[in-house]
Amino acid sequence: MTGSCHLTRLQKIGGIKVDRVLVVCPTYSGKDYALEEYLHAYNNFSHKNKHLFMVDNSDNNYIEKLLSLGVDAVHVDILDKRNIEGVLSSAWRLFIKKALSERYDFIFSCEADNINPPETISLLLDFCHRYNAGIVAHDYPDGCCRDFPDDMITGLGCTMIRTCLFSEDVFSDNASIEWNIYLHINKSKFPIIRLSNILKTNHLKNGL
């Protein structure tokens, strides 16, 4: 059952209440080329009340590297890695469970090869509050938007979502994560906002 939408345990920073944001990232060893820049960007986010949580599905011991760097991460075994939606659904079930159980106000999905500027979290939260949005998604910088409706998110590389709109059983293994989230938020009647060319994001590619 979806939780009620209200502000929860906001941390006071300088006398001001600040949203608790869970930064989530599915990953595997093939994204290791971006890890150093990713963690640097995370640590530079101006929003202070945040926590990074990664879910690794590698066949090797990549999880050990993540943990050695102080990353809050877990490993999941996936039988069929060719089923990318099943892989992502497994990760997102863990993201939702953690966000709900630990009462985070928002989930910020920041993919493992997407490097975002310091103001990213604060800017997306501002749009969420200003328009009472259920989700605010920023398009990838390299124009990889598919032919989705204008009010539909086109990826999860840089996306802020209200935790209270979710339950742990949102995702189907056989449908795209974007479509699952779009349908779920659309049913909630909260606005869906899609941004383009506001943030100077950097979509890293292996070898470049």
pLDDT at 81: 55
Residue type, 5: C
Where are the extended beta strands (E) located within 57-191? 72-75, 106-110, 114-115, 135-138, 158-162
pLDDT at 100: 93
pLDDT at 35: 98
* Strand, helix or coil for residue 194: strand
pLDDT at 154: 60
Q: List Cα–Cα distances, 163 to 2, 19, 69, 166, in angstroms.
A: 9, 11, 27, 6
pLDDT at 201: 87
pLDDT per residue rounded down to tens, the chain (208 residues): 344 564 444 444 455 568 999 999 999 999 999 999 999 999 999 999 999 999 999 989 999 999 999 999 999 987 555 556 667 878 888 999 999 999 999 999 999 999 999 999 999 999 999 999 999 988 876 444 444 455 555 678 899 999 998 876 665 555 677 777 777 777 888 888 888 889 988 889 875 4
Work out whether strand 16-18 and strand 11-13 pair parallel, antiparallel, or are unpaired: antiparallel
Using an 8 Å Cβ cutoff, are 63 and 73 in contact? yes
pLDDT at 146: 43
